[in-house]
Amino acid sequence: MAHDEGNFLAAAEMAAELNNADGYALAAESLSVYGYHIATGQEQEDIFATATEYGLEAVRLDPRNVQAHLQLAHAMGRYAQVVGVIEVLGNRYVGRVRNAVETAVELDPESPLAHLGIAVWHAEALDKAGIIARLLFGASSARALEHIDLALEYGSELKVVQLETGYSLLLLSERRYGDRALQLLRAARETPNGNAWDEFLHERVLESLAEIGEC
């Protein structure tokens, strides 16, 4: 499969041609991975914008498709990272990302990636905006911790879950949760790579470990 082999642009094109919710969700995922790990500059912004369009189309075609909501959140979150704060606030990206992952959890309460999405949303919002995130968007460290636990309950063997829960704990408080984060990142380092995306995740794992002094 092109996505698993790392041919993300080809995978997105082929998936979008299916013209159904699953196809557009996969296209959004492929572009989001490519945009974050490979693209640079203006191409990155354009890629995330297209990924968001694919995610929106996936949700429109099948509002009960969990992957559609997850990949819409993924794409919008990445897009929000590369555009100006005025556009982010004006288009309500922060709230829209939260709504997408919360919808995914409502549709599938045992989805580790949906719980992971909520956990990361709260942790990143608090890290970037602090008290403003609490007041304007309802960001909460308690909610982040709750969904970290649920993501691990349902998907502790997944490299992305190990990495992102560890990352989220470090964002919340390295002093309080550093030991637990270190255990999760070590587990992610030992989890075999299953595809090209896992290889990118593995690089992030090693970078995160190096940042906290783990060789």
Evaluate whether residue 93 is within a structural domain: yes
Comparison of pLDDT for 6 and 206, the residue scoring more: 206
- Taking residues 1-12, what's their average pLDDT? 88
Phi, psi of 212 (to 5 degrees): -105, 15
The predicted pLDDT at position 4 comes to: 83
Rounded to whole angstroms, the Cα distance separating 129 from 137 reads 10
Query: Residue 129 domain-assigned?
Result: no
Closest CA to 10 of 29, 37, 24, 30: 30
Distances (CA, A) of 141 to 119, 120, 138, 145: 9, 10, 10, 6
| Cα 5 to chain centroid, rounded | 20
From the list 28, 60, 69, the residue with the least C-alpha distance to 47 is 28
Range 167-184 average pLDDT: 97
Q: Is 136's pLDDT higher than 90?
A: no
Question: What value, to the nearest 5°, has the Cα angle with vertex 178 and ends 175 and 182?
Answer: 165
Residue 159 lies in a domain: no
Does 77 fall in a domain?
Answer: yes
CA angle (6, 194, 53) in 5-degree steps: 45
Encode pLDDT of 9-33 as tens digits: 999 999 999 999 999 999 999 999 9
Which pLDDT belongs to residue 91?
A: 61
Q: Is the pLDDT of residue 87 over 70?
A: no
- 124 within domain boundaries: no
pLDDT for residue 106 is more than 90: yes
From 35-39, 42-46, 128-132, the region with the lowest mean pLDDT: 128-132
Number of domains observed in the structure of the chain: 1
Cβ atoms of 8 and 30 closer than 8 Å: yes
How far CA 57 is from CA of 44, 74, 109, in Å, comes to 20, 14, 23
Q: What is the mean pLDDT of residues 60-73?
A: 98
**pTM for this prediction:** 0.94
* pLDDT in the model for residue 93: 81
Look at the chain and count its residues: 215
The residue whose two tokens read 């590369």 is 82
The domain of 77 spans 1-108
Between residues 82 and 207, which one has the greater pLDDT? 207
Residue indicated by tokens 């075999």: 192
Residue 94's domain is classified under what CATH number?
1.25.40
Residue 92's pLDDT is 82
Query: Does a structural domain hold residue 160?
Result: no
Query: Does residue 134 lie in a domain region?
Result: no
